[in-house]
Amino acid sequence: MGSTVVLTSDRGSFTSYSGVSTMGYVACMPARLVPRVLMNSIFTPPEETNRKGEAYFAPYALRKVEASLVASGITDVSVVSPDMLERAIDEDTKVVGISVHDPLGLAPVTFKLTMIFGGGPSWTEKFFQEMGNRIAKLKKKYGFKVFAGGPAAWQLSLERPNWVDTIFSGEAELDLPDLVRKAINGDQMPRDSVGRMPKVEEIPTIIKPSRFGEVQVTRGCPRGCQFCSITPETFRSIPLSDIIKEVNLNQNAGQNSVELLTDDILLYGSKRLGVNHEAIVDLFTDVKKQGVDLIYFPHISSPGVLSSPKTVEEISHISEYDKYRAEAPVVGLESGSERIISKYMRGKPFPWKPSDWKNVILESTQIMNDAYITPCYTMTIGYEDETEEDLQESIDLVQNIIDEKLRAWVFPLPVIPMGTSRIRNNPFPILEKLPKGYWDLLYTSWKYDLQITRIMMPEMTKKMQSRTVEIITNTMTDKIFSHIENVFLELKETKGMKARDFSRIDLNNVMGIFRSIYWIGRASMSGA
């Protein structure tokens, strides 16, 4: 018998990426360039489920929605792998809720990779389409209502699927349960709904295990960058008691690592953007005391690092990053241009000024490296009024990172007018209109990124769930990186026009699949 409420997301996000979350970026590539056999076996393998299709470990966002519904009295809820929808849905199902992360391939990383590699649907878009086709077919048969929410719900407003009844934006805890209850009762549903922001005491803890041992420690970001969908007034720190409760729940399910979900780990317990050293040390100390092996976090900020080097050092010491490097927390570098920083993200450098930004980046990178942290810097390029002088300042900053031999990745991304940001009315970037300096910046950055990845990949793949997959991934990385630098050189020399040639490449055909099987076989044999 199916559940009354089924929650899911597409394969691009409902996976553990063979144990290494950074492998998820492969799903941002054009689908024709990465054979499905590699997606299914290495980059986005399906999650393990029970016979009903319920995942043993699920993305944290879905677990949070599940907990909110159960806390409101809607208890017949299942979080289901997208590959098991037919097994989980039947005539008893009244609501299907989906969390969307990049349904149209418009997220910055996806937009960039599809643009420079010749266009076409990304795997994120393809996975969403495939899930949508299955849901539409099941909906026609059983007549349930469909809710779509999550960080990329704004994309669906641009191209709304006819099988989605309600697009839900905002946070789920306060308002989504009432809407779901109405849908269960057969009431008329709104086409669009926006959830209010709950207080921390109104956010229930998850009731079943999350993927990677994910536990949320903050929500929102108070810096207020114009390109970002997160508004400053939404920032909250989650009580330590709730965090430990979720850590213990995941531990009891066999999770020995913890991913502390946040937009900036150094803002935990913060007021007015100041680093709260004591609160952060207490957080890491108490989590480590639970007996976990590894503690990771997805985001950190350069101003926070420079504000309190001792906090970063203490985090590293508690988490034993000298043994288990925190390989790629994302850090917003955004631009080397003081003018761009001042206009679009004035709160980014706080407590420093936009004129200090270059030194903030360079000094904080060294502090992170000393603490065994290798930042993954992202840049936003392509503002309407961005000049070649602005781009040159960005190139100079990246070159400074290289010249000082700092260990960091740098990824220049086209700025995307997300529907919930303050630049939502700006046009989407197109290949022909990107500043010429973008291609010089791209080449300079990626040439160095390839060097860093060669150094870091063996360390990153140690956490993979299969020794064979680890060997295959390292072998493929070495082969690909032996040739890819020339690709970026050609993009630089042609100011991006070379990207059009890549549109003719298709590895998702019979020959591409045979090549992939051959590579996998060779890698497996070499590691045997």
Per residue, what are the HEC states of 112-135? Answer: HHHHHCCCCCEHHHHHHHHHHHHH
* Structure-token pair, residue 172: 């789920």
Cα–Cα distance, 57 to 425 (Å, whole number)? 38
Segment 229-261, tens digit of pLDDT: 877 678 999 999 999 999 999 999 999 999 999
Q: Where in the chain is the domain with CATH 3.80.30.20?
A: 209-429
Q: What is the pLDDT of residue 524?
A: 41
Q: What is residue 359's three-state secondary structure?
A: helix
Q: What is the pLDDT of residue 454?
A: 82
Tell me which residue of 164, 166, 109 sits closest to 131, measured CA to CA: 164
Contact between 37 and 517 (Cβ < 8 Å): yes
Tell me which residue of 146, 150, 156, 155 sits closest to 171, measured CA to CA: 150
Alpha-carbon separation of residue 157 from 106, 165, 195, 278, 511 (angstroms): 12, 12, 16, 43, 38
User: Which CATH superfamily is 209-429 part of?
Assistant: tm_1862 like domain (3.80.30.20)
Q: What is the pLDDT of residue 462?
A: 61
Residue 458 vs residue 503, higher pLDDT: 503
For 527, phi and psi rounded to 5 degrees? -95, 0
Cα–Cα distance, 305 to 156 (Å, whole number)? 36
Contact between 408 and 365 (Cβ < 8 Å): yes
Q: What is the pLDDT of residue 503?
A: 79
Contact between 303 and 360 (Cβ < 8 Å): yes
Measure the N-to-C terminal CA separation of the chain; round to a whole number of Å.
44
pLDDT over 90 at 177, yes or no: yes
Cα–Cα distance, 246 to 130 (Å, whole number)? 32
Strand 218-219 to 236-237 pairing = antiparallel
The 10 Å Cβ neighbour count of residue 91 is: 11
Per-residue 3-state assignment (H helix, E strand, C coil) for 13-42: CCCCHHHCHHHHHHHHCEHHHCCHHHHHHH
Q: What is the pLDDT of residue 477?
A: 61
- Whether the bond into 429 is cis, omega within 30 of 0: no
Cα–Cα distance, 182 to 31 (Å, whole number)? 38
In whole angstroms, how large is the CA radius of gyration of the chain?
23
Give residue 483's pLDDT band: very low, low, confident or very high (50, 70, 90). low
Which residues lie across from 237 on neighbouring strands?
218
Give residue 419's pLDDT band: very low, low, confident or very high (50, 70, 90). confident
**What's 494's DSSP letter?**
T
Segment 328-375, tens digit of pLDDT: 899 999 999 999 999 999 999 999 999 999 999 999 999 999 999 999
Cα–Cα distance, 102 to 309 (Å, whole number)? 35
With left for phi above 0 and alpha for psi between -120 and 50, is residue 507 left, alpha or beta? alpha
Q: What is the pLDDT of residue 216?
A: 98
Query: What is the arithmetic mean of pLDDT over 372-390?
Result: 95
Cα–Cα distance, 528 to 524 (Å, whole number)? 6
pLDDT over 90 at 100, yes or no: yes
* Structure-token pair, residue 14: 């409902």
Which residues lie across from 409 on neighbouring strands?
376
Query: What is the arithmetic mean of pLDDT over 5-10?
Result: 98
Residues 6+ apart with CB under 8 A from 202: 173, 174
Query: What is the arithmetic mean of pLDDT over 53-81?
Result: 98
Query: What is the arithmetic mean of pLDDT over 389-410?
Result: 97
Residues 6+ apart with CB under 8 A from 83: 11, 46, 49, 53
The one-letter amino acid at 486? N
pLDDT over 80 at 484, yes or no: no
Give residue 460's pLDDT band: very low, low, confident or very high (50, 70, 90). low
Q: What is the mean pLDDT of the chain?
A: 91
Q: What is the pLDDT of residue 317?
A: 96
pLDDT over 80 at 467, yes or no: no
Strand 145-149 to 95-99 pairing = parallel
Give residue 469's pLDDT band: very low, low, confident or very high (50, 70, 90). low
Residue 431 vs residue 361, higher pLDDT: 361
Tell me which residue of 511, 513, 490 sits closest to 502, measured CA to CA: 490
Cα–Cα distance, 185 to 189 (Å, whole number)? 11
Query: What is the arithmetic mean of pLDDT over 295-303?
Result: 97
* Structure-token pair, residue 318: 């508690």
Count Cα neighbours of 472 within 13 Å in the Cβ-side half-sphere: 22
Does an H or E element contain 338, and which?
A: helix 338-344
Cα–Cα distance, 298 to 305 (Å, whole number)? 14
Contact between 238 and 200 (Cβ < 8 Å): yes
Contact between 444 and 395 (Cβ < 8 Å): yes
The dihedral of CA 33, 36, 41, 47: what is its sign?
positive
Whether the pTM exceeds 0.85: the reply is: yes
* Structure-token pair, residue 222: 């108070």
Contact between 416 and 107 (Cβ < 8 Å): yes
Cα–Cα distance, 332 to 341 (Å, whole number)? 11
